[in-house]
Structure 1
Amino acid sequence: MEDAAARKARLKALREAAELSARAEEELETGARDEENGADEPENEQGVRFRNYLPRDEELQRQREVGPIIPKFEDPVAKSPTEIDDPEDPLGSIAPKKPNWDLRRDVAKKLEKLERRTQRAMVELLQEEEKRRQAVSEDQQVVLQ
C-alpha cells in the first residue's frame, strides 16, 4: 500500500514538472515571436520597484515608488495630562505609593510563618550550644578532680 502511494506521488510530481517545462518552452517561443513581430517589451513585464531603497543611479531613482503617506497619530491622553493639584483629590490616591505593595501584601502571611520558624530554629540551636558548653565544662571539672 505504501509503495503504491509513494509511486503515485512520484508520478504526479513528474507530470507536474513536465507541464511546467512545457509551459516554460511555450513562453520562450511566444517571447521569440513577439521580438520578431516588433514588440519591444512584453505586456506583463514588471520592472524593479524600489520601495525602501534609494538607488544611486538617477535612472533607477525615477523608478522609485513613494510609499503611502500615513497621517500622524495624535494621542488625546498625552495632550491633556491630569495634574494633581488638590491633595484631597480621591483620584490621586488610587495609584500605589510603591510599585510592589501588592506583592508584599500577598507574601506577608508566608513571611510571618517563616519568621516564626526561623526564631524557633535559632532558639533550638542556642539551646543545643548551651548544652554542649555545659557538657564540656563538666568534662573539664571531672578531669581536674
Structure 2
Amino acid sequence: MDDESKKRKERLEQLKKRKLESTSNGNKDVSLSFRNYTPLNGELKADDSNITTTADIGDTVEKKMEGVVERVIQEEEEKRAKDVDIFTLAPKKPNWDLKRDVEPKLLKLEKKTRAAIIELIRRERPHDLSMA
C-alpha cells in the first residue's frame, strides 16, 4: 500500500507542475473563437473572423421539408385507390369464430358421450363383454 500511495503522490506532484507550467506559458497561445456573436471589444475583433450569417447557410430544414406534405398526401391517395376489396378480406364462412370458440367444449362433450354410450352397451350386454 505504501508503494502505491507514494506513486500516486508523485503523479499528483507532476500534474501540479504541468498545470503551473501551462498557465504561465499558455496564456499567450490561447485563441478565442466567436461563433455566436460579434465581440464589441476592438482588440477581440479580427478581420479574418469566420462568423456565419443567414446568407451563408444553405438549405434549411424548412426548405428541405417544403414538398414533403404534398408527397405524403399524394402517396396516401394512391394507397386508397389501390385498396383491397372488403369482400376478399372477409372469411369464407361467417361463423368461423363461433366454431373456434365452441370446438374445445365439443371435444369434452364428445368424450363424455362416448363414455355414456359404452356404459349403456355394458348394461345391455354384460355377458358379451365379460367373455371377450
Fold in common (TM above 0.5) = no
**Greater RCO structure (CA 8 Å; 6+ sep):** 2
What TM bracket, shorter-length normalisation?
A: 0.3 to 0.5
Given the two structures, how large is their TM-score scaled by the length of structure 1? 0.31
Given the two structures, how large is their TM-score scaled by the length of structure 2? 0.33
